[in-house]
Amino acid sequence: MAPLTRLAGLALLASLSGAARAADLPLEYAVKASYLYKFAPFVQWPPAAFDAPTAPLSICIAGSDPFGPALSEVVHGQRVNGHPIVVRRVEAVHPGLACQILYIGGEDTGAALQAVAHEPVLTVTDHIRGAAGGMIQFVMMAGRVRFSIDQAAAQGSGIAISSKLLGLAVSVNR
C-alpha cells in the first residue's frame, strides 16, 4: 500500500508541473477564430499590402477580444502563399498598422472601420444591428456561424475575394 501511494504522489507532482493547454474557447468563438485564418487563402491583397513575399500576414484583433491566446497558438507555424501568419492585438486602430486582416470585436466598430477605410485591410466584424459592418460580417444561422460579404467595400480597398468564398456567404453585397 505504502509504495503505491508514494508513486501516486510523485506522478501527481510531475503532471502538475507539466505544460498545460489553454482553456477551451466557447465553440462559437473557436469557429470564428478558425474562419479568420481560413479566409486568408481565398483573399488577394494588392502587392503593396506586403513588404516582402515572405513578410508575415497579420491578423489583428481590435475592440473586445473574445479569442484569447488560443488563436495565436493554432496559427503557429502556418503559412498562406508563403506568408507566415501572426496574430496581434491592437489597442487603437489607426492608418499604417500593417494588418492584412482586422477583426473588430464589440459594437464600437465605426471609428476603427473609418480609420482603415483606404487601406488594403480585410475587415471582419460580428453582425450587430445598428453598428457599422466590415467587409465580412459573422452571422449566426440556425446555431451555426456563417458570414455575409460586402464585396463592394472590399473592391474599394483593392482586395479581391475569390468566388469560392463568395459562394459560401449567406449574402453578398456587390
Partner 1 sequence: MKGSLRAWRFRYIAAAGLFWLAATSACAESIEDLRDLSLDELANVSVSSVSKTRQALSDAPAAIFVITHEDIVRSGATTLPEILRLAPNLYVAQSSASDYAIAARGLSGNPGAVDFTNKLLVLIDGRSVYSPFYSGVFWDMQDVLPDDIERIEVISGPGATLWGANAFNGVINVITRRSGETQGLLAVADGGARERSGGLRYGGRLAENLTARLYLRGYDDAETLTPADARAKDDWWRVQGGFRLDWAPTARDALTFQGDLMNGRISASNAGDTLTRNRNLLARWTRAQDDGGSLELQTYFDRSGRDILQDGGRLWIDTYDFYLQHNDAPSGRDDFVWGGGVRASRFDTTGNASIYFKPPQRTLLLANIFAQYGWAFAPGAKLTLGLKAEKDPYIGVSLLPTARLAWKPAEPLLLWTAVSRAVRSPTPFDRDVVEARNNVPLLVGDSGFHTEKLTAFEAGTRVQATANAAFSVSAYYNLYDDLKALGITPVTIIPLHWENAIRGHAYGLEAWGDLSLAHWWKLRAGFSLLHEHFRFKPNESGFLPADRISNDPSRQATLSSSFNIGQGIFLDANFRYVGALSNPAVPSYCELGGRVGWRLTERLQVSLSGSNLLHKWHQELPADTANLVPRSILAGLKWRL
Choices 45-53, 89-97, 136-144, 149-157 (CB under 8 A): range interacting with partner 1? 136-144
Q: Closest distance between partner 1 and the C-beta of residue 35, in Å? A: 6
Query: Which residues in 2-21 contact partner 1 (CB under 8 A)?
Result: 4-5, 7-8, 11-12, 15-16, 18-21
Query: Which residues in 150-169 contact partner 1 (CB under 8 A)?
Result: 164-165, 167-169
Count of residues making up the chain: 174
In the DSSP assignment, the letter for residue 124 is: E
Residue with cell 489607426: 94
Comparing CA positions, the residue from 124, 150, 7 lying closest to residue 71 is: 124
- Interface mask toward partner 1 for 55-94; x: CB under 8 A: ---------------xx-xx--------------------
The backbone torsions φ and ψ at residue 17, rounded to the nearest 5 degrees and listed phi first, read -85, -10
Longest dimension (CA), the chain: 74
Dist. CA 53–CA 173, nearest whole Å:
31
Q: Closest distance between partner 1 and the C-beta of residue 96, in Å? A: 30
Residue with cell 494588418: 99
In the DSSP assignment, the letter for residue 129 is: T
β-strand partners of 147: 138
Task: State how far the alpha carbon of 77 is from the alpha carbons of 29, 56, 74, in Å.
Answer: 21, 11, 8
Query: Which residues in 96-125 contact partner 1 (CB under 8 A)?
Result: 107
Count of residues that bind partner 1 according to CB under 8 A: 54
Q: Does 42 bind partner 1 (CB under 8 A)?
A: yes
Q: Which is nearer to partner 1, 74 or 97 (CB)?
A: 74
Q: Which residues bind partner 1 (CB under 8 A)?
A: 1, 4-5, 7-8, 11-12, 15-16, 18-31, 33-35, 38, 42, 70-71, 73-74, 107, 127-131, 139-146, 148, 164-165, 167-171
